[in-house]
């Protein structure tokens, strides 16, 4: 049974770096032995920053935001994880508590893998541990990039960039050829970009003026990705 077989949906998009892609059958079974599925409604919290991890989570359907909340309750989204991605494993590997929280951005189906099974799988499977090393290093790079982005780009440029990135993630929900709709609250978009909602809304209007995108209610349809990329790159 391939990885595609054990999941509810068949047309998996694995161009993203899923840790589990092509994992040997026996390793996968080790990992999924005591797995249990759970449904999360939009906004529901999957795990909380600072909690001790009892296992890891595999997103089988939907999108999840990873975020941190500061003292004033303001939340900052670090990353949007998509279908096929594994989350919560940093805490287990670093033998520490969750560094961030995770919540469903939309209706989600998530598999829970107990701590012990994950640890066993990492110990037993050379492929998995090598894959994890690679993924972690890669994630690190991506995060380091965001860091410089935040530090040196204007809000306008950052929003442009995040729109491009987010659009890729929403592609998964649509047939090829169909226009991709980004369906994300302005507040979430703002905390992803690292600014206030008002700024996001304003710049979104500017982009609309400039013929870069259209909005249909909360939904955003990007019509000129190239222009956005140009803005993002200065």
Partner DNA sequence: GAAAAAAGGTGATAAAACTCACTTTTTGGG
Partner DNA sequence: CCCAAAAAGTGAGTTTTATCACCTTTTTTC
Question: Rule CB under 7 A: which residues touch DNA?
Answer: 154-156, 185-187, 194-199, 201-202, 204-205, 215, 217-219
Chain residues 134-153 in contact with a copy of itself, contact rule CB under 8 A: 134, 136-141, 143-148, 150-152
**Per-residue binding letters, 27-56, with a copy of itself (x by CB under 8 A):** ----------------------xx------
- Closer CB to DNA, 90 or 186, in the complex: 186
The DSSP string of 80-102 is EE-TT-EESHHHHHTTS--SSEE
Report d(CA 2, CA 22) in Å as an integer: 8
| Buried residues in 44-63 as b, exposed as e (16+ CB within 10 A) | eebbebeeebebbbbbbbbb
DSSP state of 190: H
The candidate with the shortest Cα–Cα distance to 58, out of 24, 127, 9, 130, is: 9
Q: H or E stretch including 166?
A: helix 155-171
Residue 177 touches which member of a copy of itself, DNA, none, C-beta under 5-8 Å by kind: none
Distance of closest approach, residue 200 Cβ to a copy of itself, in angstroms: 13
Q: Which residues contribute to the site for a copy of itself (CB under 8 A)?
A: 4-7, 49-50, 68, 70-72, 74, 76, 78, 89-91, 93-97, 99-100, 122, 129-130, 132-134, 136-141, 143-148, 150-152, 194, 233-234
């Amino acid at each position: 049974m391939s990885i595609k077989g054990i999941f509810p949906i068949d047309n998996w998009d694995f161009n993203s770096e899923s840790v589990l892609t092509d994992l040997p059958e026996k390793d996968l079974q080790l990992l999924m032995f005591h797995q249990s599925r759970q449904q999360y409604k939009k906004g529901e919290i999957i795990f909380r920053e600072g909690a001790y991890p009892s296992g890891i989570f595999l997103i089988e359907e939907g999108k999840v935001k990873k975020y941190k909340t500061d003292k004033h309750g303001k939340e900052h989204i670090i990353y949007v994880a998509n279908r096929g991605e594994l989350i919560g494993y940093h805490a287990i590997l670093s033998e520490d508590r969750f560094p961030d929280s995770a919540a469903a951005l939309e209706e989600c189906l998530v598999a829970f893998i107990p701590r012990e099974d994950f640890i066993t799988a990492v110990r037993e499977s050379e492929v998995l541990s090598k894959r994890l090393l690679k993924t972690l290093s890669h994630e690190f790079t991506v995060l380091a990039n965001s860091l410089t982005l935040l530090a040196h780009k204007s809000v306008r440029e950052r929003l442009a960039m995040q729109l491009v990135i987010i659009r890729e993630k929403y592609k998964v929900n649509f047939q090829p050829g169909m226009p991709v709709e980004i369906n994300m609250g302005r507040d979430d978009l703002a905390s992803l970009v690292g600014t206030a909602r008002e700024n996001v809304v304003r710049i979104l209007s500017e982009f609309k003026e400039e013929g870069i995108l259209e909005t249909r209610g909360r939904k955003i349809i990007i019509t000129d990705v190239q222009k956005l990329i140009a803005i993002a790159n200065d």
